[in-house]
A and B are shown apart, each in its own frame.
Chain A
């Protein structure tokens, strides 16, 4: 089955620890995205990557880091520098755009709680 997976679904960490969230897709999509979702805030873009070995900061990149060594994988590290990391994290992917149409396919999300 083709799709986008995120693991784990729930993650608990102590304050001051770095944590890495996994995102894998087998849709052969070129672009991948990380969003953070807080209640009443909608989705805020953290980082995105349009091609392997390249990525750009989104609107709230501070305290986060990413890598894109493989087309299928786009892990997100939440560092200890992120002041308020408890949130629901969503990963998405989209195919190479032939036009301005840009449908994004979302994973099921990871809920991170920092204690």
Chain B
């Protein structure tokens, strides 16, 4: 079946790197996404990666994809207080228009 798994909580000191991990099950997914949700708000697309890529970098964000292990990670360098949010991993199975979201990882920044 379709499933996206990620840990629910992560605490990181301000200035350190945050690494949020995700595993997915559908090998047909050609795109994988990271969405960010700030408190009391909707989700915003943060970044995405195409399945034929291993890595994608965008300023402080680095996405790593291990397609063999169906493992996706998001690294946030120099974590700031404004990065405090819930981060959702998501995949688009090739066969339909739905996006499968993980349960979200709440990132807490320690001073």
Contacts and interface: CB of A to CB of B under 8 A. Distances in A.
Contacts of B92: 100-102
A90 B30 contact: no
Contacts of A64: none
Interface of B: 8, 29-31, 33, 40-45, 48, 88, 92, 94, 97-99, 101-104
Nearest to A30: B97
A58 B40 CA distance: 23
A92 B90 CA distance: 14
Contacts of B97: 31, 48, 50, 94, 97, 102
A73 B45 CA distance: 22
Contacts of A99: 30
A58 B41 CA distance: 22
Given A102-B97, A109-B41, A40 B33 contact: no
Interface in A16-41: 31, 40-41
Contacts of B31: 100-102
B45 to A, nearest CB: 5
A103 B8 contact: no
Contacts of A45: 98
